[in-house]
A and B are shown apart, each in its own frame.
Chain A
Amino acid sequence: GAGVSQSPSNKVTEKGKDVELRCDPISGHTALYWYRQRLGQGLEFLIYFQGNSAPDKSGLPSDRFSAERTGESVSTLTIQRTQQEDSAVYLCASSSPGTGINNEQFFGPGTRLTVL
């Protein structure tokens, strides 16, 4: 596809359940980012992938959160034992090959997660 896609678009789950959120970046983009937007807050950085490795996991809020990326393409963000404070919109972004500053990040539409 032409842009970043994410699935599901909406996810409602019960407290304590595990969820998986998927991101398909723009083809050829080696850098991939996950952000979270809780209600009334700005976007928070969660994790960054360069290729399949994650040099920066500093934004993951707890050890219940993990992410992986395979084939320098699809990424999955997993939240185990979900809590109500995990309710948020989870956004994925990708950027063009190479590193360095000012590579524009292209965002997906997000997954709205609601934990009951």
Chain B
Amino acid sequence: GDSVTQMEGPVTLSEEAFLTINCTYTATGYPSLFWYVQYPGEGLQLLLKATKADDKGSNKGFEATYRKETTSFHLEKGSVQVSDSAVYFCALSAFITQGGSEKLVFGKGTKLTVNP
């Protein structure tokens, strides 16, 4: 079945460091790919998404490129801030055959802590 594997944390960085969180997936067909973020005490929020191969999603300085050839969607940010401390989840969309919608298949999450 469809699955997502992401880099296990926790990850601890100093402010202004470069961030990469690796994510690879296994899927039938051509899913959309997502990064969700969960800040302390808050619900999951969509950070960025890409819907087809070679698309780049970007938001708040974060980027991820949909790489079909390597089945990857790595999250990057050039200079992290303390406020980026959160748990990051990689996810793909899996089509629900009955009902015509999609469910999300998530990785286990990566906790990022950025120190000043």
Residues of chain A at the chain B interface (Cβ within 8 Å):
3-4, 31, 33, 35, 40-45, 48, 50, 55-56, 59, 91, 93, 95, 99-105, 107-110
Task: List the A residue with the shortest CB-CB distance to B32.
Answer: A102
User: Are B44 and A107 closer than 8 Å at their CB atoms?
Assistant: yes
User: Are A108 and B43 closer than 8 Å at their CB atoms?
Assistant: yes
User: Are B104 and A43 closer than 8 Å at their CB atoms?
Assistant: yes
Task: A107 to B47: give the CA distance in the assembly, Å.
Answer: 13
User: Are A110 and B43 closer than 8 Å at their CB atoms?
Assistant: yes
User: Are A43 and B93 closer than 8 Å at their CB atoms?
Assistant: no
Tell me which residues across on chain B come within 8 A of A41, comparing CB atoms: 108
User: Are B102 and A103 closer than 8 Å at their CB atoms?
Assistant: yes
Task: A6 to B90: give the CA distance in the assembly, Å.
Answer: 23
Considering residues B4, B36, B106, which has the most beta carbons from chain A within 10 angstroms of its beta carbon? B106
Q: A40-B108, A41-B108, A101-B93 are in contact. Are A31 and B101 (CB under 8 A)?
A: yes
User: Are B101 and A103 closer than 8 Å at their CB atoms?
Assistant: yes
User: Are A107 and B45 closer than 8 Å at their CB atoms?
Assistant: yes
Contact of A43 among B32, B46, B89, B97 (CB under 8 A): B89
Tell me which residues across on chain A come within 8 A of B102, comparing CB atoms: 101-103
Task: List the A residue with the shortest CB-CB distance to B31.
Answer: A101
Task: A35 to B4: give the CA distance in the assembly, Å.
Answer: 16
Query: Does B69 have its Cβ within 8 Å of any Cβ on chain A?
Result: no
> Mind listing 22 A-B residue pairs with CB under 8 Å?
A31-B101, A41-B108, A42-B106, A42-B107, A43-B104, A44-B106, A48-B96, A48-B101, A55-B98, A56-B103, A91-B44, A99-B99, A99-B100, A99-B101, A100-B100, A101-B32, A101-B51, A103-B101, A103-B102, A107-B36, A109-B42, A110-B43
Query: Does B105 have its Cβ within 8 Å of any Cβ on chain A?
Result: yes
Contact of A105 among B4, B42, B89, B104 (CB under 8 A): B104
Task: List the A residue with the shortest CB-CB distance to B4.
Answer: A42
User: Are A50 and B109 closer than 8 Å at their CB atoms?
Assistant: no
The 8 closest A-B pairs by CB, nearest first: A55-B99, A55-B98, A99-B100, A107-B44, A42-B106, A43-B106, A42-B108, A45-B103
Task: A110 to B91: give the CA distance in the assembly, Å.
Answer: 18
Task: A52 to B93: give the CA distance in the assembly, Å.
Answer: 22
User: Are A56 and B43 closer than 8 Å at their CB atoms?
Assistant: no
